[in-house]
A = this chain, B = another copy of it.
Amino acid sequence: MTTTHDTRRKPISRGGSPVVPSKGPRRGARVGEVRWDAGSFWGSRIRINAQATFDHCIAWMDRLGWLENFDRVARGETTTDRPGWQFSDSEIYKLVEGIVWELARRPDPLLEHRYESLVARIAAAQDEDGYLCTAFGHPGLPERYTDMSMGHELYNMGHLLQAGVARLRTAGDDALTEVVLRAADHICREFADGARETLCGHPEIEVALAELGRATGEARYVEQARLFVARRGYGTLPVRPLLAADYFQDDVPVREAAALRGHAVRALYLSAGAADVAVETEDAELLDTLQRQWVRTVERRTYITGGMGSRHQDEGFGDDWELPPDRAYCETCAGVASVMFAWRLYLATGQARHIDLIERTLYNVVATAQAPDGRAFFYANPLQQREAPEDAVSEHVNMRAEGGVRAPWFDVSCCPTNVARTLASLETYASAVKGDVVSLLLYGAGDISIEVTGATLGLRVDTAYPHDGAIRVTVTEAPASAVTVRLRIPQWAADAAGAGPGEARHTVGPGWWDVRRTFVRGDRITLDLPLQPRFSWPDPRVDAMRGTVAVERGPLVLCVEGVDVPGDDRLERLLVDTGTAPDSYADGAVVRALVLDEPAVPEGRVPFSASLAPSAQGGEHRLVPLIPYHRWASRQPSAMRVFLPTVSTPLGAPDAG
């Protein structure tokens, strides 16, 4: 294909995965190197994603006119009544990205046709100079770049670039490449130093330009990403009523911040882009700063689910230790963005803790968001729902990103397409290669055929993880020379045991467990991760969780649903007896609990919520089942709790002594 733009394009390398650093020794798996079984935990979700979610998203975007926005621009028929938010273009791009990953996993002529048709409609809406946005810069719409704080133009084009990079890396140069390079060149011209020295209110272009630079070998794209990162934090963006500079991370320069703050998705996309820039420019100081910010954020501003962003207000991070279970916002997109950031830190540093967080987030945020049929989603992922919502699943657009019921679509509908592109590319996060070391990062039944030291290592993984902790790895193809198979032992797996080929079973991890040898076909590595349910205690500084405990089982956070504890408000009166360890029960657990009688609080006090000390209350001892949090609200709308008050909690009664 011949291009007409001004880029001296270099040969395209097919990296095959979302993040392909040009510097550093480590790479993630390429699409196809890890193939999970269709019946496995993630394999089934990826299948549903391909079979149902893509069509579902396209149907909604068609119905709402978001797709036709591109045709209107192409036809020159834009008007002031454009449907959709200013960032609706990005939903199409994220969906295209998901389709591209899926096509690389499993060619499908019908899906390929869908892809080409979407790209044709997108391409037709591109301006002569490369600008592409259906919400600005055309008749009836505001002028280009007149609202850098909230306009989302570069955010939209960033997602376009990410879709194009995915295609370049899996299928090579095509019509989308042309669109993407023209858009990127436009941005580099318009936002160079000396031109518009500003930035986009919603980070995303940084990570996109960095990856496009990697995919094309064009350093100027990385340089533009570096410029955008470096410009941030100096109050350049116009502050809007009720939106302060920290909302946009424009309050403190990236390399001076102590923790992530403001709008969570913005903060995490920015951090991911900054990590890419740090790696490509070999800026160790910036990378260290980002590591420190990550540690502090995970320590003090992250839920047990991996959910980030506790505040509904601003969809933002709260203060340290501000982690209310009930009003936990934990936007699904923030979970996706957290995986993006942690994955880049892992590739740069090789630390197991980044994958630990990725696993926690995938099982407890991403898996929670997707309904079993792939046609409804959670946007917010609270850890407590006091009352069963009245509504069943709605057939309408959900105006609010909350409510305890998965919704088919949202007014701001960033999450469904973000889940779609994440699931379609998820297998590339399951393994990584550095030199002659192949790391197994995420466990699932399936086949691995991965390039290492110029040869191929084939592995068959048999496991029912996370429902069962037994993992059996059989070598199906072996390189001639010695390689290391490095297995991740999660932080919670204090009693994991394993055996390499011919070895006696021994304790391993947590962290990494290396099995090195010249493998032969049929060699077997066994790993047993302990999945006994366990109590997890909140940090004492988390005020909103004081006197409660959570139950986890392997990587799964568990919860109690009201539907399993009949009675109109009994989740409010359930106290866990932590003197007895939780037992396994199906894929969840069962705990001993005291279900209190109606609280014996004096009537008529004003305000009731600050009463005198209640007298001792009677109650009923019973066993209470917990299910994986990711399945909550799957049977029916229900009250739900992750953090459960414990019997030892004084419940407001005065101390004995």
CA of A85 to CA of B242, assembled, Å: 12
Choice from B242, B544, B548, B613 contacting A535 with Cβ under 8 Å: B613
A313 within 8 A of B: yes
The answer to whether A599 and B319 touch across the interface, beta carbons within 8 angstroms, is no
CB distance from A259 to the nearest CB of B (A): 12
A303 in contact with B649 (CB, 8 Å): no
Chain B residues closer than 8 Å to A610, beta-carbon distance: 303-304, 536-539, 550, 552
Q: Please pick, from B241, B400, B540, B653, the residue contacting A399 in the complex, using a CB distance under 8 A.
A: B241
Chain B, residue nearest A599 (CB) = B540
The answer to the question of A192 belonging to the interface, with a C-beta cut-off of 8 Å to chain B, is no
Can you report 12 residue pairs joining A to B where beta carbons are below 8 Å apart?
A: A239-B399, A304-B607, A322-B386, A324-B326, A324-B327, A327-B327, A353-B604, A537-B610, A539-B611, A540-B601, A547-B547, A647-B655
A624 to B578, CA, bound (A): 32
Which residue from chain B places its CB closest to the CB of A240 in the assembled complex? Answer: B399
Closest to A550 in B: B610
Give the residue name and chain of the B residue nearest to A322 (CB).
Answer: B326
Q: In A629-643, which residues have CB < 8 Å from any B CB?
A: none
Tell whether, in the assembled complex, residue A321 and residue B543 are in contact, meaning their CB atoms are under 8 Å apart. no
Chain B residues whose CB sits within 8 angstroms of the CB of A549 once the complex forms: 652
- Whether A353 pairs with B606 at a CB distance below 8 angstroms is yes
Q: Are B656 and A611 in contact (CB under 8 A)?
A: no
Is A349 located at the chain interface by the 8 A CB criterion? Answer: no
The residue from B313, B611, B612 contacting A312, defined by CB atoms under 8 A apart? B313
Among B303, B537, B548, B611, the residue within 8 A (CB) of A607 is B303
CA distance A547 to B653 in the complex (A): 9
| Minimal beta-carbon separation of A323 from chain B (angstroms) | 6
Instruction: State whether the Cβ of A360 lies closer than 8 Å to any Cβ in chain B.
Output: yes
Question: Is A320 in contact with chain B by the CB < 8 A criterion?
Answer: yes
Does residue A651 face the partner (Cβ distance < 8 Å to B)? yes
- For the A-B complex with A320-B386, A578-B655 known, give 8 more contacts whose Cβ atoms are closer than 8 Å: A241-B412, A300-B608, A538-B652, A541-B572, A543-B544, A546-B546, A546-B548, A547-B547
A13 within 8 A of B: no
Residues 594-624 of A contacting B (Cβ, < 8 Å): 596, 599, 601, 604-614
A-side binding surface: helix, strand, loop or mixed? loop
Give the docked Cα–Cα distance between A326 and B412 (Å).
28
Complex alpha-carbon distance, A613 and B538, angstroms: 8
Interface footprint category on A: 35 or more
> CB-CB < 8 A to A650: which residues of B?
547, 646, 648-649
* CB closest residue in chain B, given A400: B244
Q: Taking the complex as formed, is A299 at the interface, i.e. its CB lies under 8 A from any CB of chain B? A: yes
Q: Check: A566 CB closer than 8 A to any chain B CB.
A: no
CA–CA, A353 and B602, complex, Å: 14
Q: Is the CB of B241 within 8 A of A411?
A: yes
Nearest B residue (CB) for A609:
B539
Given contacts A312-B312, A544-B543, A652-B540, contact A319 B387 (CB under 8 A): yes
A599 lies within 8 A of B241 (CB): no
Asked whether, in the complex, the Cβ of A609 is within 8 Å of the Cβ of B304, the reply is yes
With A241-B411, A356-B606, A547-B546 already in contact, the answer to whether A654 and B535 are too (CB < 8 A) is yes
Chain B CB within 10 Å — which of A360, A545, A607 has the most?
A607
**Minimum C-beta distance from A396 to chain B (A):** 11
